[in-house]
Amino acid sequence: MADSVPVRCPTCRRENAFTPPTFPCACGAPLTMPVLRGGVPVEILHRTWQASWVEVRCEVCGRQDEWPAPESGCACGTVVRVPVAPAPPLPPPNFPSPGTGRQPSRPVPPAATDDPPRAILRPAFRPVTIRTARDCVTAAEQYLKWLGYADVARTQERTASGVDLRGTGVVAQVDPTTRATELREIECVWLNGLNDSALAVFFSLAGYARDARARADELRLPLFVMDLTGTPQPVNDSADELIKYGADGR
């Protein structure tokens, strides 16, 4: 997971720890937002679509795309947009000097190994903008399908267990409330996954209580937090692994 960076609230001057979000690039590599250390966060007073996206280049494949701008909330209620480092310019092509007759150098392919990487290559995820609680479930459903759980679907009626989505090999719960997800909800969805011999996954709009996060790490249960653009962001190592390897790697 990415290292956290300090972000000072411009309203109350409290310094908060912020973990930059990580998204899956189209090449399959995890792309962590390059937060600008020492940058000045900007309070969000009015949201615009254009200001909610930033251009970031993948260090693995060189692809430059627009991604949701990282945001951080403070206990005082202030929400700020955290600045990211600008994408570095592409290096110039390695053309031969005039008259030398030398050809441009070609990259050397990596040496073959006995254990090749199993990262899944997939197209970029198309987010579902979140306006209602139902949109949260829709975004989680589409994200799980993007990860390889093609038959995942909503449960006909949400049971007391709180499971919202089921598919072959996966169960998921979505918490669209504005409070941090609690320990009991993590353990309930994990038990449902255990009962179905399936992977349990949790999506939360407001994040997780500290003990809930710690318990999920112990259970190796992938946690995601949703932003209003509808792009789930991994919260723990298990979520990073799920993004990297997809349904086939679990």
Residue 89 pLDDT level (bands cut at 50, 70, 90): low
pLDDT tens track for 139-186: 999 999 999 999 999 887 655 556 889 999 999 999 988 899 999 999
- Rounded CA-CA distance 125/24 in Å is 8
- Three-state SS string over the chain comes to CCCCEEEECCCCCCEEEECCCEEECCCCCEEECCECCCCCCEECCCCCCHHHEEEEECCCCCCEEEEECCEEECCCCCEEECCECCCCCCCCCCCCCCCCCCCCCCCCCCCCCCCCCCCCCCCCCCCCCCCCHHHHHHHHHHHHHHCCCCCCEECCCCCCCCCCEEECCEEEEEECCCCCECHHHHHHHHHHHHHCCCEEEEEECCCECHHHHHHHHHHCCCEEECCCCCCCEECCHHHHHHHHHCHHHC
Q: What average pLDDT score do residues 9-27 get?
A: 85
Model pLDDT, residue 54: 84
pLDDT at 220: 93
Q: Comparing 40-44, 167-171, 219-223, which segment has the lowest mean pLDDT?
A: 40-44
What φ, ψ does residue 174 adopt, rounded to 5°? -120, 125
Q: Name which of 36-45, 81-90, 206-215 the model is least confident about.
A: 81-90
The yes-or-no verdict on residue 30 having pLDDT over 80 is: yes
Residue 140, pLDDT score: 94
pLDDT of amino acid 35: 85
Q: How far apart are CA 123 and CA 24, in angstroms?
A: 9
Average pLDDT over residues 72-89: 82
Residue 165: beta bridge partners? 154, 172
pLDDT at 13 over 50: yes
User: Could you give the CA distance from residue 26 to residue 4 in angstroms, rounded to a whole number?
Assistant: 25
Evaluate whether 157 touches 184 at the Cβ level (below 8 Å).
no
Mean pLDDT of the chain: 81
Which class for 247: exposed (0-12), middle (13-18), buried (19 or more C-beta within 10 A)?
Answer: buried
| Integer Cα distance of 128 and 232 in angstroms | 10
Q: To the nearest whole percent, how much of the chain has pLDDT over 70?
A: 82
174-183 pLDDT per residue, tens: 998 889 999 9
Confidence of residue 68 (pLDDT cuts 50, 70, 90): confident
Please tell me the predicted confidence (pLDDT) of residue 90.
57
Q: Is residue 71 over pLDDT 60?
A: yes
Task: Determine what percent of the chain is predicted with pLDDT higher than 90.
Answer: 31
* 145: number of Cβ within 10 Å: 17
